[in-house]
A = this chain, B = another copy of it.
C-alpha cells in the first residue's frame, strides 16, 4: 500500500492512497490525515487497503496539478539514527575525530515540526554554513510502548519513507563537540512523496532493512547509488532503542542515517561530507565544495524491476528570505 499527503486542507495536508505507479489516487473517508491514519491504524487500514485494491483495478483520480507534501508535513517526533557504520568510520578517519564509543545505536532527536515536501525549495541563511544533503531511509511507527523488544517493534513499523536530512557542515562538528547534539546544524528535513507499507517492498524489506539503492543526483549528475541493506542495526533495533525509556507516539519517524556502503568507491556517497572525507583521506585535501544557492539535488530509490517506490525528491536550495 502506497500513501501520500496532498499539500492542501491545513498544516497536516490531506491523506490519499496512491496507485502503485504513483499516477492516480483516492481519498479516504474515515481518516483525513496521515497522522490520524497512524493513530487509528487498526481501524483505518482496512479502508485504506480497500482503496488500494480499487486503485489496482484502475480507479482513481489522475495526479495532475496536485502538489505533494511530505507524508507527515509535521510530526510529534523525529529520531535519526546513524546505522551505517561505514559512514561513521570514514568520517572519523577523514576528520581525525575520536572514535565514538557506544554499545547502543547512535541516535539524535531532530526538528520535527516541519518536513519539506519533495519538490519544495529549501531555504538556508548562508552558503558559508556548508549546505549538504544526506540521503537516507526511515520508518514511521504507530504507538510503541516503552521497553519493547526489537522483535516486537516489527509490528509497529507501519510505513517506510525516503528522507533527505539536510545538514550544515560548518556548524555540525562544533555542536557535536558540546555533546548536546545538533540544533543549528540540522534544520528541517525533506521527505519523498510516498510512504509505503513494508509489504509493498516485497523481498526488499528484510531484517528491518530496506534492500534498495538510493540514487542521488546533484545538479543532474550522479553522485551516489548506495544500498540500504548494509545497516549495522536494523530499523527494528533503532525503534527499540528509541523506546528504551519512553513510549513512542504514533507518527514517530525513525531514520537510518546516511546510507553508505563499504564499496563506496564504486557506489559513491549519499552526502557531500562523506565524499570530502574520502578526498581528504586520499589526497589530504577536500576539493568538492558544499552546495550553492540554486543547486538542485534529486533522490530516488527504485525496485530491482525498475519501478519507483517512494517517488523522487527533487529540490533546489535557495537563500532564506529574512523574517520568514
- Knowing A76-B113, A183-B79, the reply to whether A106 touches B178 (Cβ < 8 A) is yes
Residues of B within 8 A of A111 (CB): 77, 109, 246
| Interface residue from B76, B100, B168, B323 paired with A76 (Cβ < 8 Å) | B76
Contact check, B113 vs A241: say whether CB atoms are below 8 A apart.
Answer: no
Answer whether residue A82 sits at the interface, using C-beta atoms and an 8 A cutoff: yes
A183 to B179, CA, bound (A): 12
Q: How far is the CB of A286 from chain B (nearest CB, A)?
A: 20
Residues of B within 8 A of A76 (CB): 74, 76, 112-113
Residues of B within 8 A of A242 (CB): 183
Contact check, B146 vs A183: say whether CB atoms are below 8 A apart.
Answer: no
Contact check, B177 vs A180: say whether CB atoms are below 8 A apart.
Answer: no
Q: Classify the secondary structure of A's interface with B.
A: loop
- Knowing A101-B177, A147-B125, the reply to whether A108 touches B183 (Cβ < 8 A) is yes
A168 to B246, CA, bound (A): 12
Q: Which A residues from 169 to 189 make CB contacts under 8 A with B?
A: 171, 174, 176-185, 187-188
Copies of this chain present in the complex amount to: 2
Contact check, B109 vs A181: say whether CB atoms are below 8 A apart.
Answer: yes
Answer whether residue A114 sits at the interface, using C-beta atoms and an 8 A cutoff: yes
Contact check, A109 vs B110: say whether CB atoms are below 8 A apart.
Answer: yes
Contact check, A147 vs B181: say whether CB atoms are below 8 A apart.
Answer: no
Answer whether residue A249 sits at the interface, using C-beta atoms and an 8 A cutoff: yes
| Interface residue from B77, B114, B168, B246 paired with A245 (Cβ < 8 Å) | B168
Contact check, A247 vs B324: say whether CB atoms are below 8 A apart.
Answer: yes
Contact check, B176 vs A323: say whether CB atoms are below 8 A apart.
Answer: no
Contact check, A245 vs B187: say whether CB atoms are below 8 A apart.
Answer: yes
Contact check, B183 vs A180: say whether CB atoms are below 8 A apart.
Answer: no
Answer whether residue A252 sits at the interface, using C-beta atoms and an 8 A cutoff: yes
Q: How far is the CB of A157 from chain B (nearest CB, A)?
A: 17
- A124, A148, A184: which has the most chain B beta carbons within 10 Å? A184
Total interface residues on A, using CB and 8 Å?
53
Contact check, B183 vs A107: say whether CB atoms are below 8 A apart.
Answer: yes
Residues of B within 8 A of A56 (CB): none
- Knowing A145-B324, A147-B125, the reply to whether A180 touches B108 (Cβ < 8 A) is yes
Residues of B within 8 A of A107 (CB): 180, 183
Q: How far is the CB of A220 from chain B (nearest CB, A)?
A: 27
Residues of B within 8 A of A112 (CB): 76-77, 112
Q: How far is the CB of A89 from chain B (nearest CB, A)?
A: 14
Answer whether residue A244 sits at the interface, using C-beta atoms and an 8 A cutoff: yes
For A140-170 the 0/1 string (1 means CB < 8 A from B) is 0000011110000000000000000000100
Listed A/B pairs (11) with beta-carbon separation below 8 Å: A76-B76, A100-B179, A102-B174, A104-B174, A107-B183, A108-B180, A114-B247, A178-B179, A185-B245, A187-B245, A188-B246
Chain A interface (Cβ < 8 Å from any Cβ of B): 74, 76-77, 79, 82, 100-102, 104, 106-114, 123-125, 129, 145-148, 168, 171, 174, 176-185, 187-188, 241-242, 244-247, 249, 252, 320, 322-324
